[in-house]
A and B are shown apart, each in its own frame.
Chain A
Amino acid sequence: MTLKKSIRITVNGRTVDADVEPRQHLADFVRDELLLTGTHTGCEHGVCGACTLYLDGKPARSCITWAVACDGGEVRTIEGFDDDPVMGELREAFSAEHALQCGYCTPGMLVTARDIVLRLPDADEARIRLELSGNLCRCTGYVGIVRAIAKVLASRKSSARGPG
Chain B
Amino acid sequence: MKAAAFDYARAGSITAAVDLLSASEGRAKVIAGGQSLGPMLNLRLAQPALLVDIRHIRELNEIRQTEEGCIVGSCVTHAAVEDGEVPDFTRGFMKKVAAGIAYRAVRNRGTIGGSVCHADPAGDWVVALTLLSAVALIEGPGGRSEMSLQEFVTGPFSTQLDPAQILVGMRIPRLAAQARWSYYKFCRKPGEFADAIGAILHDGSGACRAVIGATSGAPRVIEDARFLVERSDPGRMGSALEAAGVAHDPYEMQIHSVVLKRAAAQLAA
Contact = CB atoms under 8 A, between A and B. Distances in A.
Interface of A: 1-3, 5, 21-23, 25, 28, 44-46, 49, 52, 55, 58-61, 63-66, 68-69, 71, 111-112, 115, 130-131, 133-135
Given A23-B6, A69-B10, 13 more contacts: A21-B5, A22-B7, A23-B4, A23-B5, A45-B1, A46-B38, A49-B105, A58-B79, A58-B108, A60-B108, A65-B38, A65-B109, A71-B10
Contacts of A66: 8, 34, 38, 51
Contact of A133 (B2, B34, B43, B189): B189
Q: How large is the interface on B (under 10, 10 to 19, 20 to 34, 35 or more residues)?
A: 20 to 34
Contacts of A71: 10
Contact of B8 (A61, A65, A68): A68
B88 interface: no
Interface string B103-118: 1111011000000000
Interface string B98-133: 000011111011000000000000000000000000
A29 B32 CA distance: 20
B108 A25 contact: no
B10 A45 contact: no
Contacts of A44: 1-2, 42
Contacts of A130: 190
B53 interface: yes
Nearest to B79: A58
A153 B264 CA distance: 37
A26 to B, nearest CB: 10
Interface string B15-59: 000000000000000010011001101110000000101010000
Interface of B: 1-8, 10, 31, 34-35, 38-39, 41-43, 51, 53, 55, 79, 102-106, 108-109, 189-191
A28 B8 CA distance: 17
A2 B5 contact: yes
Contact of B7 (A2, A52, A60, A115): A2
8 contacts: A2-B6, A5-B8, A60-B108, A64-B42, A66-B8, A71-B10, A112-B104, A112-B105
Given A22-B51, A69-B53, A134-B104, A63 B190 contact: no
